[in-house]
A = this chain, B = another copy of it.
Amino acid sequence: MYAIVKKRRQPKAEITTVNTPKISNKQVLVQTKMAAICGTDVHIWDWNEWAQNRMKKIPLTIGHEFTGEVVKVGEDVTNVQAGDIVSAETHIVDGTCYQCRTDRMHICQNLEILGVDTDGVFAEYVVLPERNAWKSPPDLDPAISSIQEPLGNAVQTVLPKDRIEDIAGKNVAVLGCGPIGLMAIAVLDTLGAEKIFATGGGRNKVRMELAKKSGADMVLNAREEGENIVKIIRDSTDGNGVDVALEMSGAPSAVRQAFEILTPGGRVSLFGLFDRPLEFDVNNAVVFKAATIYGISGRRMFQTWYQVRGLLSDSRFRKKIASIVTHRIPIKDIAEGMEAIHSKRAGKVVLEPKWE
């Protein structure tokens, strides 16, 4: 079958043919119907420092966001059958470590990631453990179905725990308008946030536009407004600041702003990754402010999937998510998708299984 394989420890990857994989008793074989490019795939494609350190197994089929049809199931599989349309939870877990035994499977101590540690979805067929196959509505647009996994990240950033201060009537800021930031805006708008502020680097006009469409009440250009952002947001919230700040950019200035605009006792989700250690005024940002901070890694398994399913049952939400998908291209043209992302013209890029 065709697959996009990282064959060498250097930039890019090759479209090539490999053996169609075999399944064991508790696995399922899925035919890819649509895949999507994640930021992680871009790092692996670019072969940046993170990718060089993280990727152990080469050659490897890359990609992890997708939807497909189950074509075969192992003999001990009970919950999925041939013909089911599924998406993949990409975290493959051991099920028995301390974290798995205490409702934190998504940060399993022996976590493997599809398309990073095991052969991924940029291929005609992919093997999933039964547990990782998430049944999706057959009538859902495959482009949307294929990005349920990052949608789960957006939900996790908004609602990091099951029992948490709800969003209803809260003022929220989303710092960073990458695809998952945009999704978070759409999630917040659907969950009854009062005012949603979005900030972005401002170089990617497409994303600033999409922030507005996704439900942001105010989109601020971090590059132009600078420190003024803090004043603008305070003035728009009776001087209280926001209840919730979601750092989704990885920019040091955004982290600082997240805490400056936060109302005392508010909460911050840290989703973005940083190029280097941050210098941080802990006293004023965290201690005196009695702030709560959540590090966001992955998605609760499988609470976030149910939440995504529920959100996708809302037609307005689906429309917003569809608008974030700016490019639908044949998978053979993946290099063009990477280029669209690099040149900041793209929201989310999905890949149709056209190999020739």
Contact = CB atoms under 8 A, between A and B. Distances in A.
Contacts of A306: 98, 101-102, 169
How many copies of this chain are found per oligomer? 4
Interface string A169-209: 11100000000000000010011111100000000000000
Contacts of A265: 99, 102, 104, 107
Contacts of A170: 310
A308 interface: yes
A255 interface: yes
A313 B270 CA distance: 27
Interface string A294-314: 111110011101111111011
Contacts of A223: none
Interface of A: 25, 78-79, 94-96, 98-99, 101-104, 106-107, 109, 130-131, 155, 159-171, 187, 190-195, 238, 240, 255, 263-265, 270-274, 277-283, 285-298, 301-303, 305-311, 313-314, 317
Contacts of A101: 301-303, 305-306
Contact of A293 (B277, B293, B308): B293
Nearest to A281: B277
A25 B75 CA distance: 13
Contacts of A162: 103, 163, 165-166
Given A99-B263, A302-B102, A287 B280 contact: no
Contact of A96 (B78, B168, B270, B286): B78
Contacts of A94: 78-79
B159 A161 contact: no
Nearest to A301: B101
A201 to B, nearest CB: 19
A320 B286 CA distance: 30
Contacts of A273: 283, 287
Nearest to A306: B169
Contacts of A290: 104, 106-107, 294-298
Nearest to A313: B194
Nearest to A79: B96
Contacts of A193: 310
